[in-house]
């Protein structure tokens, strides 16, 4: 029975790293398709890694050389036979501590790293495992022993980027599987990866555009991790939250008691319980991915007979930069004396916020015209819109944890009408507190 099955065994000792930061694909290139110049350049770089092919009839391994596909044939590689790949580590005589090892696994490789870590325990436990959008197929609702879990290393972090389900299946796993589980943009999908972006991918990738679009969100986990290495001075902060809906309302920007963490390589390896902690953040569609998070709270104090659904725009002036016309939509409409909290993100560091310009931009042109006419020619108490009374805007900056309150620059005229813009500056009480801190 044993002799009836021939098995080729490929013994591999290697670490494969391929950066996609410069537009390279994460897929392996086919043998024989590379230029002679590329082969000469790469083979000139010496490596101590050895690739040995073992066959059943011999105990001596045949060495396969990188970028020389002819050595596969010379070693008698048979593609019709089952292939077993063995990745081994270090010898005990090297006196290398496993606690210094960091395994990084992408997709299915995340669970493979977990399996490797589960075989080592106690003083031989792996130091860190990072799962980059760990595979969801076949691993959904799997027990911790059958997938990557916090038990597999001293510290386990996971980045979830493509957990959107189709017919109950998802490419990336949605369930928390680590000490810290990061969900950029909610984890289900990523900006710049929607099928509406297909035309951009066609221009860049040609016939491979559809494939690139499908795997865009899945691979984003890799790009985010690489970005944390390339932009060490622009680390992305992630915040503990229940779900993306709560996060989008700006309700989760608290970093008290060290609850926040950094996405990517420089994640803080804080020892904690085995219970997973889910963290959320927003990112850009391209590198550098970092954005700056702000929670804004507004309350309209006048009586509103029926809910209105206006669209607003905000301009933020900081000590470094100014961001203009950031669209704000309150989907559920505005009612009386209710506080509305929402999240806005900026691509640039504007410094300390010193001024806010708040504009009512109604999306309906004819409604704008009609309301403008009512402002110019008052029709009495029966006006459709008497204006919205907005006294102050409360702001919290996620990255600095600074809280600020902004008051209307003109306290004698608090009503905001369609197409009108109001300016808000730091309230006097806030300014006094700021002066005390400076002293």
Q: Which of 160, 218, 223, 293 is catalytic?
A: 218
- The residue assigned the tokens 């203009």 is 324
Which candidate, 120, 126, 121, places its Cα nearest to that of 105?
A: 126
Give the C-alpha distances (Å, rounded to integers) separating 277 from 132, 157, 261: 16, 10, 10
* Burial category of 164 from C-beta neighbours within 10 Å (exposed 0-12, middle 13-18, buried 19 and up): middle
Q: Has 152 been labeled as part of a binding site? A: yes
What would the DSSP string read from start to end of 89-152? ---GGG---GGG-EEEEETHHHHHHHHHHHT--GGG--SEEEEES-B-TTTTT--GGGS--GGG
DSSP state at residue 331: T
Catalytic residue list contains 179: no
Q: Which two tokens stand for residue 27?
A: 């897929």
102 is catalytic: no
Q: Among residues 107, 221, 228, 408, which one is catalytic?
A: 107
Which CA distances in Å does 243 have to 184, 240, 275, 297, 329? 11, 9, 17, 19, 20
As given in the structure block, the two tokens for residue 393 are 């805007």
Reply yes or no on whether 151 is catalytic: no
**Three-state DSSP state, 243:** coil
DSSP-derived letter for residue 362 is -
Tell whether residue 349 is among the known ligand binding residues: no
Candidate list 8, 111, 118, 133, residue with the active-site label: 133
Distance from C-alpha of 11 to C-alpha of 14, rounded to nearest angstrom: 10
Q: What is the DSSP letter of 235?
A: P
Q: How far apart are the first and last CA of the chain?
A: 85
Instruction: Kindly list the catalytic residues.
Output: 107, 133, 218
Binding positions for Ca(2+): 147, 152
Binding positions: 147, 152
């Amino acid at each position: 029975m044993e002799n009836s099955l021939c098995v080729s065994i490929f013994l591999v000792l290697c670490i494969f790293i391929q950066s996609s930061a410069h537009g390279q694909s994460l897929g392996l290139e086919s043998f024989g398709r590379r230029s002679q110049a590329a082969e000469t350049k790469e083979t000139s770089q010496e490596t101590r890694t050895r690739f040995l092919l073992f066959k059943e009839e011999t105990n001596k391994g045949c060495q396969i050389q990188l970028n020389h596909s002819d050595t596969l044939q010379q070693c008698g590689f048979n593609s019709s036979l089952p292939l077993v790949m063995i990745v081994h580590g270090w010898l005990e005589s090297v006196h290398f501590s496993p606690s210094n090892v960091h395994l990084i696994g992408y997709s299915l490789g995340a669970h493979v790293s977990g399996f490797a870590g589960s075989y080592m325990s106690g003083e031989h436990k792996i130091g860190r495992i990072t799962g980059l959008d760990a595979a969801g197929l076949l691993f959904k609702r799997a027990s911790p022993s059958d997938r990557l879990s916090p038990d597999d290393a001293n510290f386990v972090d996971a980045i979830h980027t493509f957990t959107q389900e189709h017919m109950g299946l998802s490419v990336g796993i949605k369930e928390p599987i680590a000490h810290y589980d990061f969900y950029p943009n909610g984890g289900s999908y990523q900006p710049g990866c929607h099928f509406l972006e297909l035309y951009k991918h066609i221009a860049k990738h040609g016939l491979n555009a559809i494939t690139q679009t499908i795997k865009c969100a899945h691979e984003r986990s890799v790009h985010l991790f690489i970005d944390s290495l390339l932009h060490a001075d622009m680390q992305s902060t992630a915040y503990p939250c229940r779900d993306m809906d709560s996060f989008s309302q700006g309700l989760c920007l608290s970093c008290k008691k060290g609850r926040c963490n950094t996405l990517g390589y420089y994640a803080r390896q804080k020892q904690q319980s085995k219970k997973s902690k889910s963290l959320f953040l927003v990112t850009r569609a391209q590198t550098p991915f970092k954005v700056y998070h702000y929670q804004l709270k507004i309350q309209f104090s006048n009586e509103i007979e029926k809910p209105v659904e206006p669209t607003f725009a905000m301009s933020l002036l900081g000590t470094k930069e100014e961001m203009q016309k950031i669209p704000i939509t309150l989907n559920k409409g505005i009612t009386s004396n209710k506080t509305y909290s929402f999240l806005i993100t900026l691509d640039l560091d504007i410094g300390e916020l010193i001024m806010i310009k708040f504009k009512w931009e109604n999306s309906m042109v004819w409604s704008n015209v009609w309301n403008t006419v009512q402002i110019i020619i008052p029709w009495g108490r029966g006006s459709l819109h008497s204006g919205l009374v907005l006294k102050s805007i409360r702001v919290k900056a996620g990255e600095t944890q600074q809280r600020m309150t902004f008051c209307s620059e003109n306290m004698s005229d608090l009503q905001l009408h369609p197409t009108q813009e109001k300016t808000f500056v730091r309230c006097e009480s806030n300014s006094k507190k700021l002066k005390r801190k400076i002293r």
